[in-house]
Amino acid sequence: ETGVTQTPRHLVMGMTNKKSLKCEQHLGHNAMYWYKQSAKKPLELMFVYSLEERVENNSVPSRFSPECPNSSHLFLHLHTLQPEDSALYLCASSHLPSGAGGEAFFGQGTRLTVV
Amino acid sequence: GNSVTQMEGPVTLSEEAFLTINCTYTATGYPSLFWYVQYPGEGLQLLLKATKADDKGSNKGFEATYRKETTSFHLEKGSVQVSDSAVYFCALSEKDGNNRLAFGKGNQVVVIP
């Protein structure tokens, strides 16, 4: 398998549930990202991990908790979400330092619906 | 801060028509510029990129030129196909940062047979 893989592709959860999104990259990259794509809003960067260390947290509520156990895997743990958290959650990876590139490669996303 | 502005609204055109999607940017440094494409139900795929002024990125018949003087990176394709129907996002990343991407709002492109 190649590229960036996200599971599950679709998730429906209640506001009191706890669930996790998983991302795995097979590109040998050392940085991973979570982005949120909501209807009619630009893509929002949520978290950045570089060499398994969180280097950015863009004012994301604590009900979203990321985890990066190694450079190939990234999780987003979800707890006590709100309906407005329903969105497409995209994982991406890239290589740092960026050198002449700087591009990120994305997974297919997890479509999350909070009911 | 960094930002990307794309033209407003969806784009609807006939097969074999010429496509242009405008993109302008604001950045403090010298960013890399990208176009990503999102097909229905999918994630984002890198379409093309340019890393310095006057570079031209190209892929699958699409082209975009990094214009520093006008801070623009307009996407063009000479003859679109129905299969080009998708949402197109312009984006930038600062070379000295963590490759974080700033995206435009995206443009829905619908190609009619």
* Three-class SS of chain B: CCEEEECCCCEEEECCCCEEECEEEECCCCCEEEEEEECCCCCEEEEEEECCCCCEEEECCEEEECECCCCECCEEECCCCHHHCEEEEEEEECCCCCCCCEECCCEEEEEEC
Q: Which residues of A touch B (CB under 8 A)?
A: 4, 6, 31, 33, 35, 41-43, 45, 48, 50, 55-56, 90, 92, 94-96, 98-109
Alpha-carbon distance of B18 to A106, in angstroms, equals: 28
Q: Which of B31, B32, B99 sits opposite A96 (nearest CB)?
A: B99
The predicted-structure confidence for B90-104, as pLDDT tens digits, reads as follows: 999 977 678 888 999
* Residue whose tokens read 């991990």: A49
Q: Could you give the 3-state DSSP secondary structure of residue A104?
A: coil
The predicted-structure confidence for B43-81, as pLDDT tens digits, reads as follows: 999 999 999 999 999 999 999 999 999 999 999 999 999
Q: Which residues of B touch A107 (CB under 8 A)?
A: 43
Mutate to test the interface with B, among A98, A108, A111 (most CBs of B within 10 A): A98
The predicted-structure confidence for A4-32, as pLDDT tens digits, reads as follows: 999 999 999 999 999 999 999 999 999 99
Percent of chain A exceeding pLDDT 90 equals 77
CB B63 within 8 A of CB B77: yes
The pLDDT value given to residue B48: 97
The predicted-structure confidence for A72-105, as pLDDT tens digits, reads as follows: 999 999 999 999 999 999 999 998 876 656 789 9
- CA nearest to B41 within chain A: A108
Cβ distance B98 to A100 less than 8 Å, yes or no, reads no
Q: Which of A6, A102, A107 sits opposite B99 (nearest CB)?
A: A102
Cβ distance A42 to B105 less than 8 Å, yes or no, reads yes
